[in-house]
């Protein structure tokens, strides 16, 4: 009788295998993730706080930080709006080309950022598709802020949409259809019904998008021109300092991106605990009602 109720052993049930697997994961994590971050922190302050502060206060470094933040402030809100609109259209409506739109949104995941930067050269460069027209109108896209923003937007376009689409597909359309049937407008339905149910996944996507924008290197390196003090974002400036053998400045600037990575990780964990990108079909909370429009 006891043999019939005995469950077959699962992979990892053996204590020795479990300990070995956990140890292997910890060793790999320490070598490939923790160690580089520790080295950045140690090297950044190896010559003291005064040298670190001087490196951060360098005009070119400050300009790189400002340009990176400016790019994020422009690209992240636009990609957030695009991601919400794309996810809402794909999950809440049926239309021809719906699956094709989903494939197009995922293109930046499969294309190298450097290839994307080169593609922008062929579109907006002097010899590109729109280059002569832009030059005649005295509009500068490449080797300026607009080109950096466009390249960053291309690379990070899928982040918000890909966090929202699975969740909104699982939620279905019942709540929105109920709100619409009661006379709620599209905007009111979105802000009263859809947005509360996707807010954590939305914030999660925004955090990932922001981190990728600030850390983007490949596409931006092609379209920016790497002009010191003008078009160098923080990742490009770190490379420039390192090639100039200014290791103290390079590691000091890199420490800013490392802090950003840690903050992003903490935000990711907190949002995951609140259900970002998770959860199944939503139910109306006790204080949430379907908006009704009286006539």
Question: Domain residues for 209?
Answer: 58-273
Within-domain flag for 200: yes
Within-domain flag for 175: yes
Within-domain flag for 122: yes
Within-domain flag for 94: yes
Q: pTM (2 decimals)?
A: 0.80
Tokens at 136, concatenated: 């005649």
14-23, 251-260, 264-273: which has the minimum mean pLDDT? 264-273
- Segment 83-106, tens digit of pLDDT: 999 998 888 888 888 889 888 998
- Segment 216-248, tens digit of pLDDT: 898 999 998 888 888 899 999 999 998 888 888
Asked if 80 contacts 210 with a C-beta cutoff of 8 angstroms, the reply is: no
Within-domain flag for 294: no
Q: How far apart are CA 72 and CA 79, in angstroms?
A: 10
Cα dist. 11→26, 28, 102, 128 in Å?
19, 21, 36, 56
Within-domain flag for 135: yes
Within-domain flag for 28: no
When pLDDT is averaged across residues 117-124 and rounded to a whole number, the result is 90
Within-domain flag for 161: yes
Contacts of 244 (CB under 8 A, 6+ apart): none
Q: How far apart are CA 43 and CA 247, in angstroms?
A: 8
- Segment 190-216, tens digit of pLDDT: 888 888 888 888 988 998 899 899 888
Domain count along the chain: 1
* CATH code for the domain of 233: 1.10.3720.10
Residue 4: pLDDT band with limits 50, 70, 90: low
Residue 2 has pLDDT above 60, yes or no: no
Helices and strands of the chain, counted as H and E runs = 17, 0
Query: What 3-state DSSP class applies to 72?
Result: helix
């Amino acid at each position: 009788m006891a043999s019939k109720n005995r469950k077959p052993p699962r992979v990892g049930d053996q204590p020795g295998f479990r300990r070995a697997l956990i140890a292997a994961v910890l060793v790999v994590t320490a070598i490939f993730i923790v160690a580089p971050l520790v080295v950045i922190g140690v090297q950044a302050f190896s010559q003291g706080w005064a040298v670190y502060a001087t490196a951060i206060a360098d005009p070119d470094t400050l300009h790189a930080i400002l340009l990176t933040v400016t790019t994020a402030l422009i690209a992240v809100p636009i990609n957030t709006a695009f991601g919400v609109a794309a996810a809402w259209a794909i999950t809440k409506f049926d239309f021809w080309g719906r699956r094709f739109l989903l494939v197009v949104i995922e293109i930046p995941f499969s294309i190298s950022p450097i290839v994307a930067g080169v593609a922008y050269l062929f579109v907006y460069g002097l010899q590109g598709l729109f280059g002569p027209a832009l030059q005649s109108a005295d509009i500068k896209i490449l080797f300026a802020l607009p080109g950096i923003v466009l390249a960053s937007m291309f690379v990070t376009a899928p982040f918000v949409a890909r966090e929202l689409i699975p969740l909104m597909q699982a939620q279905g359309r019942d709540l929105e259809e109920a709100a619409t049937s009661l006379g709620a407008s599209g905007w009111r339905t979105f802000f009263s019904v859809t947005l509360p149910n996707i807010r954590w996944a939305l914030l999660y996507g925004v955090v990932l998008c922001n981190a990728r924008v600030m850390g983007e290197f490949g596409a931006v390196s092609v379209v920016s021109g790497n002009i010191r003090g003008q078009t160098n974002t923080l990742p490009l400036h770190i490379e420039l300092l390192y090639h100039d053998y200014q290791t103290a400045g390079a590691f000091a600037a890199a420490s800013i991106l490392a802090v950003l990575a840690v903050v992003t990780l903490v935000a990711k964990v907190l949002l995951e605990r609140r259900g970002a990108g998770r959860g199944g079909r939503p139910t109306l909370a006790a204080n949430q009602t379907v908006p009704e429009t009286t006539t």
